Amino acid sequence: MTSRDTVLPPLASHGHLALDREELIAWGERFGHAATAPLIVALSGELGAGKTTLVQAICRGYGVAEAVTSPTFAIVHRYAAPRSEVLHLDLYRLDGPRELENIGWDELLQEDALILVEWPERARGQLPAHHVPLELRHLPDQPDKRLLYAGGHT
């Protein structure tokens, strides 16, 4: 059983959840509590969909005590947690996979850590197959809610 298997229910890839901010935070905290390193989580979604909010909740559930902020300009933030280090990567400012070498991508993915990657589409296929995909989408008719797809939806 992989770390990925311990955080996602068996049918997660076949559905989605409509969550308000508080529910998204609670879901993220439960996910973080269940996570076991090494684990790579890819968080996709439009600007303002709640990716950083979800990362903050996952980190809190995983045991990160310090404030978690967006690493948009730094690209990578590292946080200490009781079970392992947490790496928070924001690839938004990268033009594509050719720039991954500049941030030590291959070395980062080899760390025994919880690795949370925002804007994973900028890596275009460079994530390992065993990563956990999470996607947030706006609900046009309910602006206070987000659709959460976990595990790659079908």
DSSP 102-142: GGTHHHHHTSSSEEEEESGGGGTT-S-TT-EEEEEEE-TT-
pLDDT above 70 coverage of the chain, percent: 88
Question: On the CB side of 137, how many CA atoms lie within 13 Å of its CA?
Answer: 11
Average pLDDT of span 122-130: 90
The predicted pLDDT at position 139 comes to 87
Crossing angle of helices 51-62 and 21-34, in 10° steps, is 40
Task: For residue 103, give every residue at least 6 positions away whose Cβ sits within 8 Å of its Cβ, in sequence order, or none.
Answer: 75, 76, 89, 94
pLDDT digits (tens, 9 = 90+) for 72-85: 788 999 999 999 99
pLDDT above 90 coverage of the chain, percent: 69
Q: Is the pLDDT of residue 88 over 60?
A: yes
Measured from the Cβ of residue 31, the count of other Cβ atoms closer than 10 Å reads 20
Cα 153 to the center of its chain, rounded Å: 16
Could you give all domains of the chain from N- to C-terminal order, each with its CATH number? 17-116 (3.40.50.300)
pLDDT digits (tens, 9 = 90+) for 94-104: 988 889 998 99
pLDDT digits (tens, 9 = 90+) for 6-35: 565 554 555 678 999 999 999 999 999 999
Question: On the CB side of 26, how many CA atoms lie within 13 Å of its CA?
Answer: 7
